[in-house]
Amino acid sequence: MARWRILVSVAVATLTAAAMGATASPAAAAPTGSDDFGAPTTNVVGGTRAAQGEFPFMVRLSMGCGGALYSSKLVLTAAHCVNGTGTNTSITATLGVVDLNSSSKITVKSNYVYRAPGYNGNGKDWALIRLASPVTTLATLPIATNSTYDTGTFTIAGWGAATEGGGQQRYMLKASVPFVSDSTCNSSAMYGGEVIPTDEICAGYAAGGTDTCQGDSGGPMFRTGANGALVQVGIVSWGDGCARRNKPGVYTQVSYFSSAIASAAASLGG
């Protein structure tokens, strides 16, 4: 069964308790988005630690998801990370740091959420979160508006679990993953037709070992575009476990939804 890549609170509790020298249990689960993180590992699903300022558009969301700064006041994330469209002041976005414990982090509350119309858990996995105040000191991440950049080698980054079923990481980590064609990803050896070719794009290694994981949902998958600038091609959506053999990550194909995303962004004030 494919699973979303949103971090569950029990996983956060496990990491927090380990840092405190305690034994975690589901009853003692810490709220998702807690700032009390343990010491980081040196790699997460085949990745390495990102440098401060390397990906300034990266956003950590308090419900246990990632996102990318689409504009100074909008964060692009996954539909499965939010409950629906409407006023929402409960989400905290953390920006501007690779270390979630850094005293220089920027935190901003949400004031509205827009979830993709018609989202029912099968494709259309994108959403926009409007921030209560704009963040003007950080670079945004442009989205792909056509399929030109939907192949090649992509970068993934986030604060998700280091291992399948693990907890959120204190430091942002990054990795590179190759494009996997729709036909290969939907083959019987991989997802057997579960992937929606129009809505989704796959990336990863047949041998496994490098992947996004729980807690990375909603984060961007990106690559170099025109003039050397980065462009977002995917949104972390789902996968069967993490970094398993013949189970690449499945991402929302941003180029397919670019017009709808731009229209929604305009309706939210940019």
Q: Annotated catalytic residue: which of 62, 80, 110, 211?
A: 80
Chain segment 147-204, per-residue pLDDT in tens: 999 999 999 999 998 788 888 899 999 999 999 999 999 999 999 999 999 999 999 9
pLDDT score, position 168 = 87
Triad 86, 90, 95: Cα angle to 5°: 105
Annotation says 125 is catalytic: yes
209 touches 46 (CB < 8 A): yes
145 touches 161 (CB < 8 A): no
Annotation says 99 is catalytic: no
Q: Distance (Å, rounded) from C-alpha 211 to C-alpha 6?
A: 14
Chain segment 60-92, per-residue pLDDT in tens: 999 999 999 999 999 999 999 999 999 999 999
Q: Distance (Å, rounded) from C-alpha 261 to C-alpha 270?
A: 11
SS3 string, 52-115, reads: CCCCCCEEEECCCEEEEEEECCEEEECHHHCCCCEECCCCEEEECCCECCCCCCEEEEEEEEEE
Q: Annotated catalytic residue: which of 34, 62, 125, 211?
A: 125
pLDDT value at 20 more than 70: no
Burial 174-193 (b: 16+ CB within 10 A, else e): bbebebbeeebbbeeebbee
Chain segment 205-236, per-residue pLDDT in tens: 999 999 999 999 999 999 999 889 999 999 99
Distance of CA 203 to the CA centre of its chain: 14
If you ran DSSP here, which 8-state letter would residue 190 be given?
T
Annotation says 217 is catalytic: yes
Q: Annotated catalytic residue: which of 34, 71, 217, 255?
A: 217
Chain segment 112-143, per-residue pLDDT in tens: 999 999 999 999 999 999 999 999 999 999 99
pLDDT score, position 115 = 98
Of 170, 163, 136, nearest to 50 by C-alpha is: 170
65 touches 128 (CB < 8 A): no
Q: Distance (Å, rounded) from C-alpha 57 to C-alpha 89?
A: 21
Question: What is the CATH number that goes with domain 147-255?
Answer: 2.40.10.10
pLDDT score, position 8 = 57
Helix (H) or strand (E) holding 13: helix 9-19
pLDDT value at 19 more than 50: no
